[in-house]
Every structure is written in structure tokens, then in C-alpha cells.
């Protein structure tokens, strides 16, 4: 008995030492993450910035992070201020506006309805719409729109995103948003080409799926999502309802990139499926882990393995799956989404295998800090492919070559890339935005240190530059050179080179 008692004490002490050692190891990793931030391009001697340095540099008030390691939430932590005026700190319970990350949670809510047989992914949506029917016209070419089309942005619909409403605005109903009638501030949702042809990012399509949820379940959207999705995933600090600023949860205040507070602290989005989620990185980590476990076939998960695989399989498009995008980085696949609203920017990544991931949420429209944090997490944890920083190459080009690239290049209607030199340095400026320095990787291809994007100049047989190709996030967009000179580049709501992630959209539009 004495020996058994001694063994029990020894094992208990050993377990305590192991737990303490594990905690210390996690603390060391957190410390490294906090001090190893790098941008998309770094010099050979770059040691990394601290998170506090970069928050100050980008004027970001608050940050919240969660890291997933081997199918478990390893740690979560808040930094800075949820509200600068009140000096309230960001904690792991602070709610942030998730923007288009809402589309991921919307997708699993709908897939749950598919799994229970309430709806079908490949049936005409008008079978499920009761309060409104989609007005097919000649652009649809006789093809029906399905829920799979809506969730993968392959329905051929307009309205990429929404600007939301301030607290003093009249808030439209979901039907008013879909029909584009006042007080809605967005266009009516309609076809722009036949469904099933290609990917075209459409928050409008996601909003139609919101109405389907209400018509099928006979519940308000936020009530169905709260009871049947968020609660079942144990996302206890999440809601699709309008948060109470004086409620039990601390709700972050949103800020512009100049540090100015958003009027009314944040915008409201009746387009809840597209942009209405308030949540935390910890809760989003629970969603990510639930999908990862279902994908690998663990029994008893929210979605079964079959539907998890459907969700994470690109549909028609090479990247767009159901409510998520699939990225292949160096052979490692991740499902991901980001979200940009008035005052908030967030991003998550979850690996399809190995159970790794990261979630970062900020109360700022700045989009440049989060990639630096993700780089740091990926470097410290060795998450394959997710570390996207490249070492710069020192290549010198003569003035004649640099001058040959100068000019205006039409990237999209109303969006012009202006290439120019200052003090022998080549720059690019997108209409209405600040200039970004370009650094030669080859004689014709240039990189940007502040954003993961490249520009490649193309010449004709005579050696004249005819166009430039913008490479960003797996896509290549051609911009033909134009002889038209732009004298003034005033700020307009044109696409932001730093933010054109899944689609071209206005700088203050949710995506």
C-alpha cells in the first residue's frame, strides 16, 4: 500500500511537471510570435518587429489572436484597446465584427439544413423561397440558381459587398435589401450572367441564402443561427444579432486607418449572412476545429465527414468552395476567409489536414498588420506554406529601363495603375490611393515590400511596354498601358491594391 501511495504521488508530481513544462513551452512560443513579425518581403538581416511596434506603426488600436495546434486551441490573447476613449483593453472575450467571415458560419448553418434533409444544395432556390422569388431573366439562359451556387459565388449575381448603416440610419429589411428599395443603400440583386459559368464574388447571393434560411426554418436568421449553429459549436461569445453596447459582452469599437473612430463606433449590417457576425478568435477557432475534425472523419461532429468535404471542395472555381476559399501553399491546403467592414479587419486560416490554424481580428480597416502576424505564427509553429515572407533580392536597373515602365495602366473601369519614378525609385499608385514603392526581382518583374503582390511589365516585339500584370493571391490581372495622362489622382472609392483579396470592391465595402 505504501509503495502504491508513493507511486501515485510520483505520477501526480510528474504530471504537474509535464503540465508546467508544456505551459512554459507555450509561453515561449507566444513570446516568439509577439516578437517575430515580418512583412511579405524582408531584407536578409531582418530580425522581426514586435506586435506592439507594428500596431503603433499601422495605428491599429486592438488585436485579438487565437492559434490552433494539432486540433486544439493552444492559446488566445488580446492586445491593445477595444475602445481607446474608454481605455477598455482587448481580452479574449472582446467581440469583433467579422465581416465576410460571416459567410463561413452561414455556410455550415445551411449545410446543416442540407444534412438534415430540409434543403438540397442542387435544387432551384425558388423551391425554398416563400416571401420572394428570384426573378430569372434572359441573362440566366434558362439555368437555375442553387444553394451551392450562392455559397460558392457561382450564381452569376451582382452586389459584391455592402457598406452597412450607421446607428442613425433607417435599417432596411432583408427583402428591401434584396429588392434594392429604400432605405437599402445597395442595388437590387439580379443576374449579371448565367449561373454556374464562373466565380463572381457576391454578397448579394449570400443574402438570398439568408432569406432561404428564414423561409425554410420559419425563424429569424439570427435566432436560427444562435440556437442551431453557434450554441452547438459552443461559440458562446458570438451573435448575429445587433450587440448591445452596454450589454454583458465587451464590443470593440471600430477605427479608420488614420486612427479616427467610426461614427457610432461601428456600422450595422442587416445582411447578416454576408457580414453580420460578431465573434472572437477563440470562437472562430472552435468552428475551424469542428470542420477539421469532421473532415478527417471524427464521429459526432457538427457536420459529418461527407458534408465537411463538400464544404471544403472548390465548386466550379479553383478556389471558391462553400463559404470558404481553398489555398494550396507549397502542397499544404488551407481553408480561409477574411472580412473587412467599416472599422474592422479579420482573417483566419485552417489546414485541411494536421489540425493547424490561426485567427486574427482587429478593430481597424488596416489590412497590412494581420499578414505580418500570420507570418510570425507560421514561422514559430512551422505551419507549412503559411509563412509567406520572401527575402528581397538586390537588383539594380538603369534609369532608362525604369523610365520605360512609367505610364498609366487600366486595371479595371475607373481603376488605373500609375507607374512613375521619384529619386530613381519606381512607384505604383492605384487611383485614389497612396503610392507604393516597387523593387526589381528581375528586369521586368517587381515586388512590393508592404503587400504580397508583384507587377510584371510585358513588352511587344519592338521592345515597347504594352501592359502590366498584377499578381496577387493566386490571380493574375492584366492592365493594358494607355496613353491617357491623369493629372490628378483624387481619393475615390476604387479598389485598394492592399485589399483586393477575393474580389475587386470599394475600399469601404465589406467582403
**Whole-number pLDDT of residue 45:** 63
Coil, strand or helix at 65 = strand
236 pLDDT band, cuts 50/70/90, is very high
In this prediction, residue 245 carries a pLDDT of 61
Do 267 and 177 share a structural domain? Answer: yes
Task: Give 434's pLDDT tier (boundaries 50, 70, 90).
Answer: confident
Three-state DSSP at 402 gives helix
Spatial distance between the Cα atoms of 165 and 163, rounded to a whole number of angstroms: 7
Shared-domain flag, residues 452 and 346: no
Write out pLDDT tens, residues 311-357. Answer: 999 999 999 999 999 999 999 999 999 999 999 999 999 999 999 99
Whether residues 316 and 373 fall in one domain = yes
Question: Predicted confidence band at 391 (pLDDT cuts at 50, 70, 90)?
Answer: confident
pLDDT at 1 over 90: no
Q: Which of 304, 388, 316, 311 is nearest to 347 (CA)?
A: 388
Instruction: Please report the pLDDT score of residue 246 as a whole number.
Output: 64
The DSSP symbol for 139 reads G
Q: Is residue 240 part of a domain?
A: yes
- Please report, for residues 111, 291, 304, 315, the alpha-carbon distance to residue 310 in angstroms, rounded to integers and kept in the order given: 9, 11, 10, 9
* Any domain includes 363: yes
Starting at the edge strand found earlier in the chain, the sheet holding 415-422 runs 436-437, 425-430, 415-422, 407-412, 475-482, 465-472, 453-459, 445-447, 439-440
Assigned domain for 19 exists: no
Give CA angle at 352 (320, 346), nearest 5°.
Answer: 60
For the cut 50, the answer to whether the pLDDT of residue 509 exceeds it is: no
237-251 pLDDT tens trace: 999 998 876 666 789
pLDDT of residue 46: 67
Q: Which band of pLDDT confidence, cut at 50, 70 and 90, is reported for residue 81?
A: very high
Q: Is residue 2 part of a domain?
A: no
Backbone torsions φ then ψ of 191, nearest 5 degrees: -75, 145
287 & 426 share domain: no
Mean pLDDT of 77-84: 98
Quick one: 370 and 421 in the same domain?
A: no
* Angstrom distance (rounded) from CA 267 to CA 163: 8
> Of 173-177, 201-205, 437-441, 503-507, where does mean pLDDT reach its minimum?
503-507
Three-point CA angle 235, 239, 242, nearest 5° = 165
If asked whether residues 247 and 331 sit together in one domain, one would say yes
Residue that is last in its domain, among 390, 413, 429: 390
Considering the domain architecture, whether residues 294 and 225 belong to the same structural domain is answered as: yes
CATH of the domain at 230: 3.40.710.10
| pLDDT of residue 32 exceeding 80 | yes
Residues 367 and 462 in one domain: no
Give me the CATH number covering residue 406: 2.40.128.50
What's the total number of domains in the chain?
2
pLDDT in the model for residue 42:
73
Q: Which residues pair with 467 in a beta bridge?
A: 458, 480
Report, as an integer, the average pLDDT of 44-51: 81
Q: Assess whether 316 and 442 both reside in one domain.
A: no
Residue 200 has pLDDT above 50, yes or no: yes
Three-class secondary structure of residue 477 per DSSP: strand
pLDDT at position 452, please?
A: 76
The per-residue pLDDT of the chain, averaged, comes to 89
Which of 390, 410, 425 terminates a domain? The answer is 390
pLDDT of residue 44: 66
User: Could you tell me if 453 and 385 lie in one domain?
Assistant: no
In this structure, is residue 42 part of a structural domain? no
Of 370, 390, 410, the position where a domain reaches its end is 390
Co-location of 213 and 272 in the same domain: yes
Q: Does the pLDDT value for residue 495 go beyond 50?
A: no
Asked if residue 499 has pLDDT above 50, the reply is no
How crowded is residue 342: how many other Cβ atoms within 10 Å of its Cβ? 24
Is 500 part of a structural domain of the chain? no
- How does strand 390-391 pair with strand 41-42? parallel
**Per-residue model confidence (pLDDT) at position 43:** 67
pTM of the model: 0.83
Q: Is residue 1 part of a domain?
A: no
Please tell me which residue, 386 or 16, carries the higher pLDDT value.
386
Q: Which domain, by its residues, includes 407?
A: 399-482
Same domain, 353 and 430: no
Q: What is the pLDDT of residue 451?
A: 80
Does the pLDDT of residue 153 top 50, yes or no?
A: yes
Whether 152 contacts 197, CB under 8 Å:
no
50 part of a folded domain: no
Amino acid at each position: 500500500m505504501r509503495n502504491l501511495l508513493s507511486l501515485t504521488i510520483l505520477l501526480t508530481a510528474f504530471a504537474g511537471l509535464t503540465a508546467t513544462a508544456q505551459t512554459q513551452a507555450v509561453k515561449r512560443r507566444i513570446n516568439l510570435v509577439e516578437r517575430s513579425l515580418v512583412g511579405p518581403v524582408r531584407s536578409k538581416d531582418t530580425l522581426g518587429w514586435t506586435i506592439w511596434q507594428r500596431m503603433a506603426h499601422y495605428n491599429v488600436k486592438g488585436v485579438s489572436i487565437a492559434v490552433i495546434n494539432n486540433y486544439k486551441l493552444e492559446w488566445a490573447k488580446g492586445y491593445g484597446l477595444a475602445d481607446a476613449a474608454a481605455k477598455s483593453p482587448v481580452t479574449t472575450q472582446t467581440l469583433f465584427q467579422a465581416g465576410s467571415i460571416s459567410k463561413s458560419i452561414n455556410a455550415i448553418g445551411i449545410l446543416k439544413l442540407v444534412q438534415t434533409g430540409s434543403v438540397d444544395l442542387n435544387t432551384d432556390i425558388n423551391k425554398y423561397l416563400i416571401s420572394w422569388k428570384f426573378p430569372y431573366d434572359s441573362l440566366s439562359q434558362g439555368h437555375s440558381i442553387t444553394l451551392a451556387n450562392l455559397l460558392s459565388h457561382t450564381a452569376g449575381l451582382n452586389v459584391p459587398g455592402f457598406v452597412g448603416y450607421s446607428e442613425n440610419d433607417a435599417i432596411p429589411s432583408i427583402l428591401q435589401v434584396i429588392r434594392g428599395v429604400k432605405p437599402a443603400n445597395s442595388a437590387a440583386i439580379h443576374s449579371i450572367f448565367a449561373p454556374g459559368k464562373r466565380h463572381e464574388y457576391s454578397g448579394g447571393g449570400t443574402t438570398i441564402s439568408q432569406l432561404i434560411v428564414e423561409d425554410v426554418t420559419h425563424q429569424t436568421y439570427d435566432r436560427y443561427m444562435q440556437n442551431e449553429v453557434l450554441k452547438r459549436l459552443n461559440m458562446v461569445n458570438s451573435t448575429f444579432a445587433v450587440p448591445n453596447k452596454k450589454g454583458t459582452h465587451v464590443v470593440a469599437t471600430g477605427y479608420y486607418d488614420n486612427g479616427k473612430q467610426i461614427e457610432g463606433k461601428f456600422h450595422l449590417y442587416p445582411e447578416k449572412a454576408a457580414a453580420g457576425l460578431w465573434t472572437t478568435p477563440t470562437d472562430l477557432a472552435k468552428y475551424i476545429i469542428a470542420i477539421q475534425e469532421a473532415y478527417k472523419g471524427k464521429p459526432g461532429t457538427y457536420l459529418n465527414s461527407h458534408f465537411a468535404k463538400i464544404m471544403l471542395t472548390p465548386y466550379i472555381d479553383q478556389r471558391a468552395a462553400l463559404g470558404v476559399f481553398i489555398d494550396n501553399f507549397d502542397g499544404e491546403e488551407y481553408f480561409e476567409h477574411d472580412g473587412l467592414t467599416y472599422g474592422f479587419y479579420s482573417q483566419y486560416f485552417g489546414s485541411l489536414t494536421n489540425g493547424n490554424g490561426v485567427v486574427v481580428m482587429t478593430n481597424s480597416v488596416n489590412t497590412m498588420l494581420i499578414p505580418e502576424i500570420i507570418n510570425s505564427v507560421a514561422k514559430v509553429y512551422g505551419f507549412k506554406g503559411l509563412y509567406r515572407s520572401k527575402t528581397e533580392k538586390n537588383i539594380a536597373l538603369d534609369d532608362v529601363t525604369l523610365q520605360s515602365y512609367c505610364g498609366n495602366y487600366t486595371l479595371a473601369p475607373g481603376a488605373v495603375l500609375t507607374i512613375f519614378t521619384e529619386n530613381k525609385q519606381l512607384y505604383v499608385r492605384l487611383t485614389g490611393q497612396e503610392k507604393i514603392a516597387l523593387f526589381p526581382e528581375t528586369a521586368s518583374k517587381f515586388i512590393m515590400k508592404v503587400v504580397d503582390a508583384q507587377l510584371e511589365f510585358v513588352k511587344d516585339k519592338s521592345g515597347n511596354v504594352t501592359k502590366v500584370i498584377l499578381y496577387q493571391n493566386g490571380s493574375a490581372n492584366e492592365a493594358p498601358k494607355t496613353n491617357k495622362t491623369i493629372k490628378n489622382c483624387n481619393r475615390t472609392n476604387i479598389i485598394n491594391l492592399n485589399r483586393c483579396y477575393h474580389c475587386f470592391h470599394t475600399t469601404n465595402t465589406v467582403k
